[in-house]
Amino acid sequence: MEVGKNQQPRHGGLKVSALALGCMGYGKSREIEDRAEMITLIRQAVERGGDFFDTAAVYGPWTNEEMVGEALAPLRDQVKIATKFGWNIDQRTGDHLGGVSSRPDQIRRAVEGSLRRLKIETIDLLYQHRVDPEVPMEDVAGTVKELIQQGKVRYFGLSEAGVNSIRRAHAVHPVTALQSEYSLWTREPETEIIPTLEELGIGPVPFSPLGRGFLTGKIDVNTTFKSNYLRGNISRFAPEAHKANQALVDLLRRAGERLRAIPAQIALAWLLARKPWIVPLFGTCKLERLEENLGAINVDLGAEDLSEIESVAGAIKVEGDRYPPEHMKRTGL
């Protein structure tokens, strides 16, 4: 199975594979037990045609960037690497100090650290991980613009930003991509975000396109999560919400039976069919799941399929929030 490279360039000409691999779940502790296995998985994704990989300074912190850098070092000319700045991290120790920080000096130090850990000379796509309400967006975009002029960054992106922040950043330097949570059970971006991106020529990179695993159909009412897992603190996964939200999985499963595809493939294919320049960003730690998700490229959702999904999904009220309250405070600014 290969990843089709059918995504059209948006601002600045960045062209990537139709699906991106999010590496957040790899090596998030200081001691990485699965390091060799995850490096192999990343390289196998490249073998199958993937060329767009996503990490961030805060993942670990730092251990994830180091591992991604090691994995992709021998394949650098075949891939695009995206990373992020914006959380308040002690640049000497790597300790996460809580909250966000996009002060210009912090951005510059973060970029130097990311370049070193990723073992690269230029970051292909640099995202602001979360908007910092204490720093004017014009200062953030201006700093990234300087880094682009210096050759340390190629393209500028935002993550979980609202329309106002997108427009303010874009007025200083073209924004190439925006990460937002977007899937069949998180459709809020369709109201303002997606139309704004289309107007400005910015590429959407939806994260959690499988609803943090819920839309795969492999999570049931008896599934438990480790205490430190985000899903365990999200009300959408609570037993009382599961019954209502299961209707989306049932819808994906029915479509998959007709098209000989699994629910995850239908969920990804639905996003790919929304716009030709949407690049879903999924994560997995297993080769089997990697190959399944890449198989979404070959799922052809016809007009009738899309109409049915739209009709049924539109009548389903998703129960629960997509983040705990403290996380929601950092989104849509």
Strand partners, 157: 127, 177
Catalytic residue among 59, 127, 155, 182: 59
CA–CA gap between residue 295 and residue 261 (Å, rounded): 9
The neighbour count for residue 2, using CB atoms within 10 Å, is 12
Rounded to whole angstroms, the maximal C-alpha distance in the chain is 56
Strand partners, 21: 53, 282
Q: Does the annotation mark 229 as catalytic?
A: no
For the chain, the straight-line distance linking the first and the last C-alpha, in angstroms and rounded, comes to: 39
Strand, coil or helix: 81: strand
Is 131 within 8 Å of 167 (Cβ atoms)? no
Contacts of 39 (CB under 8 A, 6+ apart): 67, 70, 71
H and E: helices and strands count for the chain: 11, 10
Q: Tokens representing 64?
A: 């994830």
Which residues are known catalytic residues?
Answer: 59
